[in-house]
Structure 1
Amino acid sequence: MPKIFGAALLVLALAAAPSATAVAGPTAQSGQTAGQTTGRYIVTLEHTPAAESADAAVNAAVGRASSMGAVVVHVYRHALQGYAASMTAATAAALADEPGVRSVEPDRPVRIAAQSVPTGVDRVEADLSATAAIDGKDTRVDADVAVIDTGIDADHPDLNVYEAGGKNCWLPILPPMDMHGHGTHVAGTIGALDNGTGVVGAAPGVRLWPVQVLSPLGSGSTSNVVCGIDYVTEHADEIDVVNMSLGGSGKDDGNCGKTNNDAMHQAICNSVAKGVTYAVAAGNDHIDAAGFVPAAYDEVITVSALADFDGKPGGLGRPTCRTDRDDTFADFSNYGRDVDLIAPGVCIRSTFRYGGYSTLSGTSMAAPHVAGGAALYRATHPGASPAAVKSALVTAGGTDWTWPSEDGDGIKEPLLRLRSF
């Protein structure tokens, strides 16, 4: 019999202290808020393989929920089959016993926990990549990257935001326009234009798909995130790579979320199966990433943060926006066997809202370097599977960073290196 399961609280993966030039977001969520809910529930249905039958099953389930007083806010058809709806706890319990319902989980709040691109791009050697072709002439990498975040400033002159793509899962009647800044910052690290002004991304000029799952205050819910993954999966024939610089407490059950009824994990697994590569932040609690999702999922590329202030190895750079040690594991970054790569994540300058620029720190800033790297690889290997992309990035990674340092697991992660892509 289906049960109601708790969903993890998600936070954007920035470090605790913002730089002097950054806009400070809300403080990190404490464990005391982990039990809060949004008044919504995510209902996951038993999988129906045939498309027409699946649509019918979803429509019937939505109709049944509505007849019981639930107000449906999202319908999922691609990454998983189900819906999210506002309802009472009694209605949720009743729906959990309905035939065809796999699970019903409370929808939890998601919130930002606040913490130049040139140094990061230099350190991962994207400027030496023939595909990136960074020379100030605005050559654009032929790949598509979705940013599941606070949206993207579509009018930013240094970004190639794909006008025909994007979705607002936070407030569907509005375009996915970033009024916070985090998503735009992530987007710039991935693909800011090589146009001689501002900053340049790891994969300059990639088509950026804004998928807004968080409000202008940086808050949202798991159901919004699943909505974003669902949208990406619907467009899996167009979108190559996704960046998710967010996460929260949880574990990988080793069964794509089917054992512990983790809707987000199920959605990501199904999306990866459609050929989409996911780069995600390891988190900023300086603990084992095994307790942080989606970082703990095996199907994604999990990225920890390197403190680098000059774009070069050797540990000679002077600290700028944070008091950290150059060329070492960032003192806030999560670690562990689930981490696949390390990339620059301290004092990263990138695009920001209202056409501006800002400097931020966090594994949120490390992950988009890898998303950009994945885009470079897909641009020259269009048929590559997510597993092949991950293997290529990890295999090309270097070891030229200072260790041991703040890393807490005895494992030296490979440093992202893109010169051969």
Structure 2
Amino acid sequence: MPKTIGVTLLALALAAGTPSAVATSAAAESPPAATASDRAGAIAGRYIVTLKETGTDRQEDMNDAVTAATEHASDMGAFVHHVYRHALYGYAASMTARTAASLAGDPQVKSVQRDRVVRVTDQSVPTGVNRVDADLSPTAAINSVDKRVNADVAVIDTGISMNHPDLNVNRSGGVNCWMPYLPPTDQHGHGTHVAGTIGALDNGTGVVGVAPGARLWPVQVLSPLGMGSTSTVLCGIDYVTQHADQIDVANMSLGGAGTDDGNCGKTNGDLMHQAICNSVAKGVTYAVAAGNDHADAKDMVPAAYNEVITVSALADFDGKPGGLAGPTCRTDQDDTFADFSNYGPDVDLIAPGVCIRSTYFNGGYATMSGTSMAAPHVAGGAALYRATHPTASPQTVKAALQSAGSLNWSWPSQDGDAVKERLLRVTPF
């Protein structure tokens, strides 16, 4: 059986800490007490520090984050890994628990939270450009001799194989948050697979994506082993937000435990939610995986966030409706809700996510399954829409994709709720 891969964030539910006893008008949060679940996902000696915005000029505040981080590093022995100046105001650093507790009492500090593990976990293999009717999209214009969709999509993942002949990778852009100073080149395969579903070239060889030739921005937040942390994911979102005037869409085929507080993470202290809300406010549309636990997506983030487009997976083995095809790479029922996919009211669209063939690292191709593979179909659809509606807001893009969606798939099958999601259909775009 082909290699099976999905992505998850572990122990990402961020508990609000107890206010520290300092004489300030708004006391900072101290690091939450370690529970058994925290210890399973927390990285020893690693913390994320957010800072208060005290100035009247927000950009001036963001720039001051560098100075504040440097001062904390030199004065209190913290070693800074990442500085956040766009989606968040703060930094990630290595330090002792005592230093973290001291920082929580600093008047400039808003919160101190533990950094946590992110890693790739198992699932299986995906397919679907034909099923979402990308071949009928006038903007995709498939089989038109390498016409390229004029849109920019960030792949927040394991990086992208920079020299893959079937991908239009923006080599002058992108960032490696896992290992700064190195190029964001994929040595795992997951990010390159996602990238191909979004925008593999219409060049007569290999595969073709939903938005052929879209400019792909490699945003590496996971290592070659599929490992990363909350801080590296925040670094990726921060980078995308910094380039929101260029990047139209971002794909996040990763997720972990958590909920939507209905207040952009400001109530429950969810830094990833805060960062994504700030990024969406700058105009970036986010397509995210619903998760592969066959559970309600309300308990997974970023899938639970209202500000993103959450995507569940359809099992489709022939690219056609009707449920007549037999299984190929894995056992499931054709044209039905994938037996591993998360479900629930937070899911906005369903897209093919079983036995999807796409690009892979080292210039190759692979077949994979999971909601990790469903989400990039929607990211490609969003890119098609933005290519012809360059000023459309993320909310408008989401509404357009949902409105164009089809109910032409077999239901309820494995769906765990009473809502039949619309299947991505990009014919009008």
- TM-score, normalising length from structure 2? 0.90
**Structure-2 residue corresponding to 1:204:** 212
User: Structure 1 residue 150 and structure 2 residue 182: aligned?
Assistant: no
Q: How does 1:186-197 map to 2 (within 5 A)?
A: 186-197=194-205
Q: Is the 8 A contact 2:10 2:256 kept in 1?
A: no
- SS state of the match for residue 379, structure 2? helix
Does the C-alpha gap of structure 1 residues 281 and 65 become closer, same or farther in structure 2, counting only changes over 3 Å? Answer: same
- SS state of the match for residue 409, structure 2? coil
Q: Provide, for residues 142-188 of structure 1, a one-character-per-residue CA deviation record: whole Å limited to 9, x for no partner.
A: 00000000000011000000111110000012100000000000000
Q: Is the 8 A contact 1:38 1:109 kept in 2?
A: no
2:286, 2:49 → 1: CA distance?
Answer: 24
Q: Is the 8 A contact 2:47 2:114 kept in 1?
A: yes
- SS state of the match for residue 39, structure 1? strand
Q: CA deviation at 1:25?
A: 8.0
Q: CA deviation at 1:341?
A: 0.2
Q: Is the 8 A contact 1:27 1:114 kept in 2?
A: no
Q: Provide, for residues 66-95 of structure 1, a one-character-per-residue CA deviation record: whole Å limited to 9, x for no partner.
A: 310110000000001000000111111111
Q: Is the 8 A contact 1:149 1:211 kept in 2?
A: yes
Q: Provide, for residues 29-72 of structure 1, a one-character-per-residue CA deviation record: whole Å limited to 9, x for no partner.
A: 79967443253111111235512244225522441243101100
Q: Is the 8 A contact 1:133 1:139 kept in 2?
A: yes
User: Structure 1 residue 175 and structure 2 residue 156: aligned?
Assistant: no
- SS state of the match for residue 128, structure 2? helix
2:5, 2:278 → 1: CA distance?
Answer: 35
Of 329, 349, 353, the residue aligned with 2:357 is: 349
**Structure-2 residue corresponding to 1:274:** 282
**Structure-2 residue corresponding to 1:44:** 50
Q: Is the 8 A contact 1:160 1:207 kept in 2?
A: yes
Q: CA deviation at 1:103?
A: 1.0
1:353, 1:38 → 2: CA distance?
Answer: 31
- SS state of the match for residue 189, structure 1? helix
CA RMSD of aligned residues (A): 2.0
Q: Which amino acid aligns with 2:180?
A: P
Does the C-alpha gap of structure 1 residues 359 and 270 become closer, same or farther in structure 2, counting only changes over 3 Å? Answer: same
Q: CA deviation at 1:410?
A: 0.9
Q: Is the 8 A contact 1:62 1:83 kept in 2?
A: no
Q: How does 1:21-420 map to 2 (within 5 A)?
A: 21-22=2-3, 34-48=40-54, 50=57, 51-115=59-123, 119-420=127-428
Q: CA deviation at 1:273?
A: 0.4
Q: Provide, for residues 351-390 of structure 1, a one-character-per-residue CA deviation record: whole Å limited to 9, x for no partner.
A: 0000000000000000000000000000000000000000
- TM-score, normalising length from structure 1? 0.92
2:428, 2:6 → 1: CA distance?
Answer: 37
Name structure 2 gaps, 5 residues minimum.
12-35
Q: Is the 8 A contact 2:69 2:83 kept in 1?
A: no
Q: Is the 8 A contact 2:156 2:220 kept in 1?
A: yes
1:372, 1:379 → 2: CA distance?
Answer: 10
1:126, 1:234 → 2: CA distance?
Answer: 30
Does the C-alpha gap of structure 1 residues 176 and 29 become closer, same or farther in structure 2, counting only changes over 3 Å? Answer: same
1:61, 1:84 → 2: CA distance?
Answer: 9
1:203, 1:38 → 2: CA distance?
Answer: 42
Q: Which amino acid aligns with 1:206?
A: A
Q: Is the 8 A contact 1:136 1:196 kept in 2?
A: no
2:423, 2:67 → 1: CA distance?
Answer: 47
Q: Is the 8 A contact 2:313 2:338 kept in 1?
A: yes
Q: Which amino acid aligns with 2:207?
A: V
Q: Is the 8 A contact 1:301 1:340 kept in 2?
A: yes
Q: Is the 8 A contact 2:190 2:360 kept in 1?
A: yes
2:51, 2:151 → 1: CA distance?
Answer: 33
Name structure 1 gaps, 5 residues minimum.
1-19
The alignment-based identity, stated in percent, is 74
Q: Which amino acid aligns with 2:416?
A: G
**Structure-1 residue corresponding to 2:19:** none
Q: CA deviation at 1:232?
A: 0.5
Does the C-alpha gap of structure 1 residues 213 and 38 become closer, same or farther in structure 2, counting only changes over 3 Å? Answer: farther
Does the C-alpha gap of structure 1 residues 29 and 45 become closer, same or farther in structure 2, counting only changes over 3 Å? Answer: closer
Q: Provide, for residues 215-244 of structure 1, a one-character-per-residue CA deviation record: whole Å limited to 9, x for no partner.
A: 000000000000000001110000000000
